[in-house]
Amino acid sequence: MTASVVRTGQPGWLHSLLIVERYVAPAVVFLVALAALEVGGRCGLLIAVGCAVALALLGFRLWWDLAGSRREIRVLNEQLIQSQKLSALGELSAGVAHEINNPLAVIAQEVELMEMLLPRATFERMEDRDDVVDCLGEITRQVDRCCHITRGMLDFARKREAVIQQTDMNQLIDDMVRLVELEIRNKEIFIEREYAEPPPNVCTDPPLVRQVVLNLLNNAAQAMGGDGRITIATRHLDGDGVEMRIRDTGPGIAREHLEKIFNPFFTTKEPGKGTGLGLSICLRIVNELGGTLAVESERGRGAEFIVRLPSLTQRED
């Protein structure tokens, strides 16, 4: 079973109307213009001029549609290239993570053994014993940090099949909001809810969407530090889709970082505070669910992340 986007397509009457506009109308206008010129006179001239204007407008419309199609093709090509890069990087990350996990496991075991043997050891000074305990504790912390990074790399590389279910998006998002509110209860950070009514119900993978929502909310809370406001809003999209916006009042994202924000391992956080994989994983999940993830931000004016998800269905391969 695989997930696919439900495409309702254009109504038959609309498709026929587009054919008339693009192919039949220019020919009819041209023929009318020729007939008007043959008739001659002031009236015929005015009709011919009107037809010329109509042809110019139709030509502009066709040019505009063509330019839009070219822009769409360019964007799709860029997304395809980015997807291929992420796929290759994911495979590399998985291999590196597995290779690193083995020596990390050995180091962790050796530290545990040293901690067990430490009470039997003798030291000339008590300060030496304390230094060894501190060193072992620091090794353990750094091993845990490396394990966290490798888990992130494996999550980034892991591809799991979407399990599509009917989902109340307002309820799903609110569950994640309450989790984050528990984490920030000792800070002056407030979360405002602006949910669409009636609640958007879409067919998607709830656990994957929860991961995206939780990551974006945590990022917003961390960006603001100790105080600020997060606004999360939902609205209906055409075709039974849903849009979710998460906006914060933090410092915003520098212009030069906007194009890199979804790149794997890119982070603006202090060393040790982030792996730079969270947004990359969110982007991969949203793309796998047939949606889009975008960001709008100006330095000093906060940031807003926009997630758009279609309603999905399951089909037999």
Q: Are 162 and 3 in contact (CB under 8 A)?
A: yes
Average pLDDT over residues 23-41: 66
Q: Compute the average pLDDT of residues 180-195.
A: 91
Least confident of 78-87, 116-125, 163-172, 273-282: 78-87
Give Cα separations from 153 to 4, 30, 94, 192, 278 (angstroms). Answer: 26, 62, 6, 32, 10
In this prediction, residue 212 has a pLDDT band, given cuts at 50, 70 and 90, of very high
Give the C-alpha separation, 2 to 285, whole Å.
14
pLDDT band for position 1 (cuts 50, 70, 90):
very low
Phi, psi of 132 (to 5 degrees): -65, -40
Q: DSSP letters of 15-83?
A: HHHHHIIIIIHHHHHHHHHHHHHHH-HHHHHHHHHHHHHHHHHHHHHHHHHHHHHHHHHHHHHHHHHHH
DSSP states along 84-152 = HHHHHHHHHHHHHHHHHHHHHHHHHHHHHHHHHHGGG---SSHHHHHHHHHHHHHHHHHHHHHHHHHHH
Residue 314 confidence (pLDDT) above 50: no
Q: CA–CA separation, 180 vs 307, rounded Å?
A: 19
- pTM value is 0.56
The confidence score (pLDDT) of residue 71 equals 77
Q: Which pLDDT band holds residue 244 (cuts at 50, 70, 90)?
A: very high
> Which pLDDT value is given to residue 248?
94
User: In sequence order, what are the residues at sequence separation of 6 or more whose Cβ sits closer than 8 angstroms to the Cβ of residue 121?
Assistant: 129, 132
Q: What is the DSSP letter of 259?
A: T
Q: How far apart are alpha carbons 83 and 80 in whole angstroms?
A: 5
Q: Quick count: other Cβ atoms within 10 Å of Cβ 281?
A: 23
